[in-house]
Amino acid sequence: MQNYKELKVWAKAHQLTLFVYQVSKGYPKDEMYSLTSQLRRAASSIPANIAEGCGKNSRSDLANFLNIALGSANETEYFLLLSKDLGYLADAEHVKINEAINEIKAMLISLINKVRTVKT
C-alpha cells in the first residue's frame, strides 16, 4: 500500500525501539526473560505493526495494524513506568521516553483517523 519508511511515525517508533534496547541493557540480569524481554517486544511491535499494515492491500487492514501499534505503544508506556518505579530507569530518562511515546501515540491516532476517513 505504501512504503512504511516514508512515515514519520514509523521513524519515531524505530528510534524509540533503539532507545528502549539501549536503556534496557542496564536492567538486572534476572529481568532478562521477564521485564526486559516484554519491554523490548512491546517497543519493537510498534514499528513492526506499522510496517506490516503498510504492506496490506486495504485501508481497513492498515487501520487495524495501526491500532495494534497503538496498543503496543500503550503497553510499552506501562513497562517503562514499571521500570522507573522499580528503579531501573532514571526519572529524567523516563520523562524523555514518555514524551516520545506520547508523540507516537498522537501520530498514530491521527493517521488511523486519516486512513479511516479518506475515500478511495
pLDDT in tens, 44-103: 999 999 999 999 989 999 999 999 999 999 999 999 999 999 999 999 999 999 999 999
Task: Tell me how many domains the chain contains.
Answer: 1
The whole-number pLDDT of residue 60 equals 93
The number of CA neighbours under 13 Å toward the Cβ of 44 is: 10
The whole-number pLDDT of residue 120 equals 55
CA 53 from chain center: how many Å? Answer: 14
How much of the chain is in helix, strand and coil states, percent to nearest 5? 80, 0, 20
Cβ partners under 8 Å of residue 81, min gap 6: 94, 98
Q: CATH number for the domain including 94? A: 1.20.1440.60
Per-residue pLDDT reduced to its tens digit, 11-39: 999 999 999 999 999 999 999 999 999 99
